[in-house]
Structure 1
Amino acid sequence: MDAKKDWTVGELLGTSSGYWRSCALHAGVRLELFTILGDQRLDGGEIARLTKSDARGIGLLLNGLAAMGLIVKSADAYANTDFSRKFLDQSSGAYLGHIILHHHHLVDGWAQLDQAVRSGRPVEMRSYGEEKERESFLLGMFNLAMGQAPRLAAQLDLKGRKHLLDLGGGPGTYAIHFCLANPDLRATIFDRPTTEPFARQTATRFAVDGRIDFQAGDFNVDPIAGHYDAAWLSHILHSSGYEECERLVAKTVAALEPGGLIMIHEFILDDSLAAPLFPALFSLNMLINNPHGRSYAEGELRGMLAKAGVTDIRRLEFTGANDSGILCGVR
Structure 2
Amino acid sequence: MKKDFTNADPAHHDFQYLEDLSTAYWYSQVLFTALELEIFKFLDQGISTLDDLASAMDCREAELFRLLRAMERMALVGHDRDHWYNAQVASRFLVPDREGYMGAFFLYRKYMASNWEKLSDKVSCQGRHKGEDLDYKQRNQRYVEAMDTLVKQKAPEIADLAARQDAMGPILDVGGGSGSLARSILARIPGTRAVVFDLEEVIEAARKIYPEPQAWDRITPLSGDFRSHEFHQKFGLVVLSNFLHAYGPDEAKQLLQRAVSLLKPGGMVIIHDYFPDRSGRSPQKGALYDLSMMLNTFNGACHSAATIRAWLEQMDITPVETIDLTTDTAVMVAGGSGNLKSFQKNICDTALALGFDRAVPLSPDQVVTAPWVRMKCRFGCAEFGNNLQCPPQTVDHDRTRAMLDAYTQAILVQGAPPGRDFHKRLLKLEKTAFLAGFHKAFVFGAGPCPVCPSCPDTGICRHPDQARPAMEASGIDVYTTAQNAGFSLTPVQEKNNYVKYIGLLVLE
Which category of TM-score, normalised to the shorter sequence, fits these structures? 0.5 to 0.7
| Aligned counterpart, 2:313 | 306
Q: Which amino acid aligns with 1:177?
A: S
Residue 292 of structure 1, CA deviation: 1.8
Alignment of 1:244-259 (within 5 A): 244-259=251-266
Separation in structure 2 between the aligned mates of residue 181 and residue 324 of structure 1, nearest angstrom: 21
Q: 1:192 and 2:199 equivalent?
A: yes
Q: TM-score, normalised by structure 2?
A: 0.42
The SS at the match of 2:274 is strand
* Partner deviation per Cα, 1:181-202 (whole Å, 9 max, x = no partner): 2222311011111111333455
Does residue 133 of structure 1 match 2:139? Answer: yes
Q: Distance in 2 between matches of 1:312 and 1:267?
A: 20
Residue 311 (structure 1) shift? 0.7
Shift in Å, 1:213: 0.3
Partner of 1:283: 290
RMSD: 3.4
AA matched with 1:138? V
Which position in structure 1 is the counterpart of 2:277?
270
Question: Which one of 153, 158, 166 corresponds to residue 159 of structure 2?
Answer: 153
- Greater gyration radius: 2
5+ long unaligned stretches in structure 1: 29-43, 59-100, 106-126
Deviation of 1:167 (Å): 0.5
Q: Which residue of 2 aligns with 1:12?
A: 106
Query: 1:278, 1:18 → 2: CA distance?
Result: 25
Structure 2 Cα separation of the partners of residues 187 and 260 of structure 1: 14
The residue type paired with residue 167 of structure 1 is V
Higher helix residue share: 1
Residue type at the aligned position of 2:255: L
Aligned partners of 1:271 and 1:299 also within 8 Å: no
Q: CA distance change for structure 1 residues 15 and 183 in 2, over 3 Å: closer, same or farther?
A: farther
Q: Identical aligned pairs, as a percentage?
A: 24
**Matched residue, 2:333:** 328
TM-score normalised by the chain length of structure 1: 0.62
**Are positions 1:239 and 2:246 aligned together?**
yes
Q: Distance in 2 between matches of 1:159 and 1:206?
A: 28
- Distance in structure 2 (CA, Å) of the matches to 1:221 and 1:24: 46
Q: Name the residue aligned to 2:150.
A: 144
Compared with structure 1, are the counterparts of its residues 206 and 265 closer, same or farther at alpha carbon in structure 2 (3 Å cutoff)? farther
Q: Distance in 2 between matches of 1:189 and 1:15?
A: 45
Distance 1:146 1:257 in 2: 27
Which runs of 5 or more structure 2 residues have no equivalent in the other structure? Answer: 3-73, 77-88, 94-101, 337-508
Deviates more, 1:148-157 or 1:259-268: 148-157
> Residues 19 and 237 (structure 1 numbering): CA distance in 2 closer, same or farther, change over 3 Å?
farther
**1:51-86 CA distances to partner (integer Å, 9 max, x unpaired)?**
xx24xx68xxxxxxxxxxxxxxxxxxxxxxxxxxxx
Relative to its length, the structure with more strand (as a share) is: 1
Contact 1:231/1:252, CA 8 A, preserved across alignment: yes
Return the offset for 1:284: 2.5
Q: 2: CA distance between counterparts of 1:21 and 1:138?
A: 30
The alpha carbon displacement at 1:20 in A equals 5.6
CA distance in 2, matches of 1:282, 1:276: 11
Q: Which moved more, 1:154-163 or 1:141-150?
A: 154-163
User: Are the counterparts in 2 of residues 203 and 212 from structure 1 also a CA contact under 8 Å?
Assistant: no
Q: Is the 8 A contact 1:176 1:206 kept in 2?
A: no
Structure-2 change in CA distance of 1:261 and 1:191 (3 Å)? same
Q: Distance in 2 between matches of 1:192 and 1:181?
A: 26
Q: Which amino acid aligns with 2:276?
A: L
Question: What is residue 237 of structure 2 aligned with on the other side?
Answer: 230
**For 1:146, what is the secondary structure of its paired residue?**
helix
Residues 4/251 of structure 1: CA separation in 2 closer, same or farther (3 Å cut) = same
Relative to structure 1, the CA distance from residue 19 to residue 147 in structure 2 (aligned partners, 3 Å threshold; closer, same or farther) is farther
Give the paired residue count: 238
After TM superposition, give the deviation of residue 204 of structure 1 in Å: 5.5
Please give the secondary structure, in 1, of the residue aligned with 2:206: helix
Paired position in structure 1 for 2:300: 293
Q: Do the aligned partners of residues 17 and 202 (structure 1) sit closer, same or farther apart at CA in structure 2, a change above 3 Å counting?
A: same
